[in-house]
Amino acid sequence: MAGLGAPRLLDWASSPPHLQFNRFVLTGYRPASSGPGCLRSLFYLHNELGNIYTHGIPLLGFLVLVPLSIPWGRLSAAWLGAVHYLACISPQLGSVLYHLFMNHEGGPAVYHTLLTLDMCGVCLVNTLGALPIIYCTLACRPLPRSAALLAYSGLSSYALLCAVTARSNVRRLRSFAWQALFRFFFFYLRWAGLGTGHPSSLRSYLIMDGLALLGGVINISRIPERWRPGHFDYWFNSHQIMHVLVVVSILHLHWGVVADLRWLTSYVCPQN
């Protein structure tokens, strides 16, 4: 990879200030590049390559495979499949664009636009990913279901505002806390037998949120590169670990939602 016309990489001190967000990653920074130059960085080694591919490869897989497993023809509410599909691909798409073009010669203005796009992807998986969960949990209660979907959508809009204006990774992670609490209320309804849905889905959703939280904590703690600065510049640093955990988290979301959607196609609400 390094032989394909790679530019001279920079160390942390020489990189642009807006890219100096992890002081434990010491080398491998790309210089400011044009759009085509950023695209060429797909083919040589630098410290963002792992971040690009750990979401880029799953993105390609999700684009093709997720629609094939959704029971489109049997769904009375086809929009549930559509929002789930968008939820699965949005965070990877935003992340790939952010990491690929973050060193664009447009500087901080382009960088912050890309960061906003990345945060929108995170918010979309939190928002759209939960809508089928809420719908299936309240499948037999139309009015509470509509109110809950509306309330969660409004809460998610506020979370997005907080995330895009946050000035640290800790505050960005906290931006999504209220969404998580809202989801856990619906998980409780299922656990307590007060909500509906496929019996196996709750376990998938709990693992989903557990992995997402673990990934966020690892990312803000900068482990393992904090322990040995410079040794994880290219591979196995905290952000890459978070990316892998996010992908597995989305897989659990997908398995849970698909089980719920298949359950929904044959479930008949009891008559009062």
How confident is the model over 147-183, as pLDDT tens digits?
A: 999 999 998 888 878 877 877 777 777 778 888 889 9
Q: What percent of the chain has pLDDT over 70?
A: 98
The predicted model scores a pTM of: 0.91
Residue 46 marked in a binding site = no
Nearest alpha-carbon partner for 243 in 112, 121, 111, 91: 91
CB atoms within 10 A of CB 174: 16
Lowest mean pLDDT among 53-62, 121-130, 154-163, 177-186: 154-163
Lowest mean pLDDT among 15-24, 69-78, 136-145: 69-78
Q: What is the pLDDT of residue 73?
A: 82
pLDDT of residue 94 exceeding 60: yes
Q: What is the pLDDT of residue 239?
A: 96
Classify domain 12-264 by CATH number. 1.20.1070
- The two most distant CA atoms of the chain are separated, in Å, by 72
Nearest alpha-carbon partner for 146 in 130, 129, 160, 134: 134
Residue 243 marked in a binding site = yes
pLDDT band of residue 1 (cuts 50, 70, 90) is very low
- C-alpha distances (whole Å) from 128 to each of 43, 82, 124, 153, 209 are 33, 9, 5, 9, 14
pLDDT of residue 266 exceeding 60: yes
165: amino acid identity, one letter: T
Identify which has the larger pLDDT, 225 or 177: 225
Residue 198 marked in a binding site = no
Q: What is the pLDDT of residue 3?
A: 47
pLDDT band of residue 4 (cuts 50, 70, 90) is low
Identify which has the larger pLDDT, 177 or 246: 246
Here the tokens at position 70 are 């959704």
CA distance 226 to 105: 29
Here the tokens at position 139 are 């499948």
Lowest mean pLDDT among 2-11, 20-29, 211-220, 245-254: 2-11
For the segment 200-208, the average pLDDT, to the nearest whole number, is 96
Q: What is the pLDDT of residue 5?
A: 67
74: amino acid identity, one letter: R
Q: What percent of the chain has pLDDT over 90?
A: 78
CA distance 76 to 67: 16
